[in-house]
Amino acid sequence: PTATVLSVALLLRHLGHEAQAVRIEDAVTADLAERDGTFRTTEEIGDALAVRAAV
């Protein structure tokens, strides 16, 4: 799901929504930095990214 979410950031940037693209990229970066190798489902990763991007 991470690559798909980053694709959304690319689309937003293409459409001129730079701030939203950066917010998504920052959420993904933070999530990747905190991963400890524990398996998470697509839903769990998506939920974590949504929370981070909403801040």
Check if the beta carbon of residue 53 is closer than 8 Å to that of residue 24.
yes
Quickly count: other Cβ atoms within 10 Å of residue 39's Cβ. 5
pLDDT number for residue 46 = 94
- 12's CB contacts (< 8 A; 6+ apart) are 18, 20, 21, 24
pTM of the model: 0.87
Give pLDDT, residue 12: 98
What does the pLDDT read at residue 35? 87
The residue ranges of every structural domain in the chain are 2-54
The predicted structure's pLDDT at residue 52: 94
Question: What does the pLDDT read at residue 5?
Answer: 96
CA distance 28 to 14: 18
Per-residue pLDDT tens over the stretch 1-55: 899 999 999 999 999 999 999 999 999 999 999 988 899 999 999 999 999 999 6
Q: Which two tokens stand for residue 14?
A: 């293409």
